[in-house]
A and B are shown apart, each in its own frame.
Chain A
Amino acid sequence: MNERELDSLLTQGKKEAGDFFSSFMPAPTQLAAEAVSKSRRSWRPQAVRRMALAAACVAAVLAFALLAWLLPHAEYARPGAQPSALAQADDTPVDNVPTETVALGEDKEFRMNYIPTTVRDGMVPGIMTVLWEISGNGSQQMAYSSVFEYCDTVYPAMIIPFSSADYDMLLIASGDSAHGRIGYRLVGYRTNAIQTWWSRDGLPSGDISVQDGVAVEKAADDSQQSGLRVTYIVPIQITSGALVLPVSRIRLGVGERLLLIGSSTDDVDAESLGGLMSREDSEPYGEAAAMFTAVDTGEDTLQISDGKAGNSLAVSIEEHE
């Protein structure tokens, strides 16, 4: 469920709340009259008030004495005793959450929060990344959120620049320092909303970075000679009907992979013209993605199409050092 779907459900919830409350709204005049009447009933002559005050003072002194005797014996005074449920329901002190500002275009600025999630909130411990869109008048609207479960380390956000598209894309990542794993999200505009284009979680000995304009994922893989599986991730945006790539050329090593991610759920039709790139089964990656592995050295070209428009990506494949 994406942010927009959740927003839509919350709009539905607002209507449901309206229907629910419409059944028991008090009549204003009656409420005001009762408030005035109750307020007057609670009025007391000054002498009575003085007596009540004196009685309250005596009661307070007695209560204080009783408390002084009881406190050392009270259950909650024992070391390690748990606070009551109501006490636990109070809010924790506010810590400053890590925040940074990112821009995906001239008019698209976002404030990013990294909020720890806890079991107490009914969630898996981890880090929730939230993007707030900052509008011209300074107000902020939640545009995107994603939870990195079991993560405790925040990595700085990285931008994948698109010189010919309306908006750049964003790579956000968090790590699990105890187990050396990372998770990341490649996010960008899709049908006018910020959505996850590609995500990975729990990558062992993982690393994610932006190199020469594309995202590069590295993860431990015993089947590789180097012990690392390297995947270059190239998102493809559609701007004014044209397929737009962040780069026109990319360099790979033999055995390294190239993942093309389309902007819609339609098939990404991509073909290796030089035959140096082998296409893998698309199923694990979704219909909008195509995964290739570099099998031989040389110059190749990937011809990319979405059925309406096309583009190409030049690929230089070299032997591993």
Chain B
Amino acid sequence: METAGPGAGRRPKTADERESTLNYLVRRFGDRVLKLAYYHVRDRYLAEDICQEVFCRVYKHLDRFRGDSSYYTWIYRITMNLCRDYKASAYFRRMLPARMEEEVVAAAETRMFEIAEGGEVFSKVMDLPLKLRTVIALYYFEEMKTAEIAQVLGISEENVRKRLCRGRELLRKKLSQEER
């Protein structure tokens, strides 16, 4: 688990300190936040918006960061909460046909974004249901440990493992179908 960089152990107080800490956090975690957001919402521009909003909140609440978790976990949790908010928002719902069954919505989501995603395996992972693809992507693409994923997603490690297993099995099925 990574811990904070500058300012670790004490809260940044002056504007310069806050900006310096933010710059460090953006450099350190910006790309990971963007990826996590993308794994969740599967839309490049929405992910970029979320990423910006995440660091906006980080900047606003830097002085409230209690240090009882690492910056890394704190930022990831903010990202997850914003992703959930966006998916439940009116904007996101407008993008998807309303009142459809989960499978139909998932299929519509897939059709909407699959054109942009290159790579056979990557796109197959992205076609997995949300809760499975997030865990698979964080574990295999971002090389996070199950304990870290559990902390970020706010679920138990046991549940992370369950999702990993189910995700792998479903992915195996999808990739095997492709082979045939």
Residues of chain A having any CB pair with chain B under 8 Å: 1, 6, 9-21, 24-26, 28-29, 31-32, 34-36, 38-39, 42, 84-86, 88-89, 91, 94, 96-97, 113, 115, 117, 120-123, 128, 130, 132, 139-140, 142, 145, 147
The prevalent SS among residues of B at the interface is helix
Q: Is the CB of A115 within 8 A of B162?
A: yes
Q: How large is the interface on B (under 10, 10 to 19, 20 to 34, 35 or more residues)?
A: 35 or more
Residue in B52, B88, B117, B170 with the greatest tally of chain A CB atoms within 10 Å: B52
Which B residue's beta carbon lies closest to that of A22? B31
B132 CB within 8 Å of chain A:
yes
Q: Which residues of B contact A14 (CB under 8 A)?
A: 140-141
Interface residue B155 (Cβ < 8 Å from any Cβ of A)? yes
Q: B38: nearest residue on chain A (CB-CB)?
A: A21
Across the interface, do B166 and A34 meet the contact criterion of CB distance under 8 Å?
Answer: no
> Which residues of B approach A to under 8 Å, CB–CB?
19, 22-23, 26-27, 30-31, 34-35, 38, 44, 48, 51-53, 55-56, 58-60, 87-88, 99-102, 105, 117-125, 129-132, 136-137, 140-141, 145-146, 155-156, 158-159, 161-162, 164-166, 168-173, 175-176, 179
Complex interface: chain A residues within 8 A of B55 (CB): 31-32, 35
Query: Given that A96-B158, A115-B165, A122-B170 are contacting pairs, would A88 and B38 also be in contact in the complex, using a CB cutoff of 8 Å?
Result: no
Residues A6 and B119 in contact, CB atoms below 8 Å apart: no
Is the Cβ of A36 less than 8 Å from the Cβ of B22? Answer: yes
Known: A36-B19, A38-B52, A85-B101. A21 touches B31 (CB 8 A): yes
Cα A24 to Cα B117 in complex, Å, equals 12
- A21, B119: Cα distance in complex, Å: 12
Chain A residues, CB < 8 A from B48: 24, 26
Do B34 and A16 have beta carbons less than 8 Å apart?
no
With A19-B118, A29-B23 in contact, is A147–B169 under 8 Å at CB? yes
Top-8 shortest CB links A-B: A16-B119, A13-B121, A35-B55, A16-B122, A32-B26, A28-B27, A10-B140, A85-B102
Interface of A is mostly: helix
Instruction: Evaluate contact between A6 and B171: CB separation under 8 angstroms.
Output: yes
B38 and A31 form a contact (CB under 8 A): no
Q: Which residue from B56, B129, B132 sits with its C-beta under 8 Å from A38?
A: B56
| Residues B23 and A32 in contact, CB atoms below 8 Å apart | yes
A18 to B143, CA, bound (A): 12
- The number of residue pairs between A and B whose CB atoms lie closer than 8 Å in the complex comes to 157
Residue pairs across A and B with Cβ atoms less than 8 A apart, 22 shown, are A1-B179, A6-B171, A10-B125, A13-B141, A16-B121, A17-B125, A26-B51, A28-B23, A28-B26, A31-B52, A32-B19, A32-B26, A35-B22, A36-B59, A39-B60, A42-B56, A84-B99, A86-B88, A91-B155, A94-B155, A113-B161, A121-B166
Chain B residue contacts of A139, Cβ below 8 A: 145
Alpha-carbon distance between A165 and B152 when the two chains are bound, in angstroms: 43
Could you tell me if A32 and B22 are in contact, using CB atoms closer than 8 angstroms?
yes
Which of the residues B23, B34, B132 comes within 8 Å of A21, measured between beta carbons? B34
